[in-house]
C-alpha cells in the first residue's frame, strides 16, 4: 500500500522545481525569505498536498 498519493508526489515535485527557480518562499503567504534547503522544499510540498486533501500521512509529533 502506497503511503503517498501520486498527486502528493506532484505537489512535492512542483515545490522542488520552484526551489530550483528561486521562487519558493517560506512562511505564511510567502512573506519569508527564499527556500534553499531541499528538506524544507519537500516539507512545504507535503504541507501543500495536505491542505488540498491528498493522501499524505499526518505530520510527526514533535518531541518534548
How does residue 28 score in pLDDT terms, banded at 50, 70 and 90?
confident
pTM of the model: 0.80
Residue 29 neighbours by CB under 8 Å, 6+ apart: none
Residue 41 has pLDDT above 90, yes or no: yes
pLDDT of residue 39: 93
Which residue range is the domain that position 25 belongs to?
Answer: 6-51
Half-sphere CA count of 39, side-chain side, radius 13 A: 0
- DSSP for 6-63, written as a single string: HHHHHHHHHHHHHHHHT--B-SGGG-S-B---HHHHHHHHHHHHHHTT-S-PPPPPPP
**Domain contains 58:** no
**Domain contains 27:** yes
Q: Tally the domains of the chain.
A: 1
Amino acid at each position: 500500500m502506497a503511503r503517498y498519493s501520486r498527486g502528493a508526489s506532484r505537489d512535492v515535485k512542483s515545490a522542488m522545481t520552484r526551489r530550483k527557480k528561486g521562487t519558493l518562499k517560506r512562511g505564511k503567504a510567502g512573506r519569508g525569505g527564499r527556500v534553499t534547503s531541499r528538506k524544507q522544499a519537500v516539507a512545504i510540498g507535503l504541507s501543500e498536498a495536505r491542505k488540498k486533501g491528498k493522501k499524505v500521512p499526518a505530520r510527526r509529533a514533535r518531541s518534548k
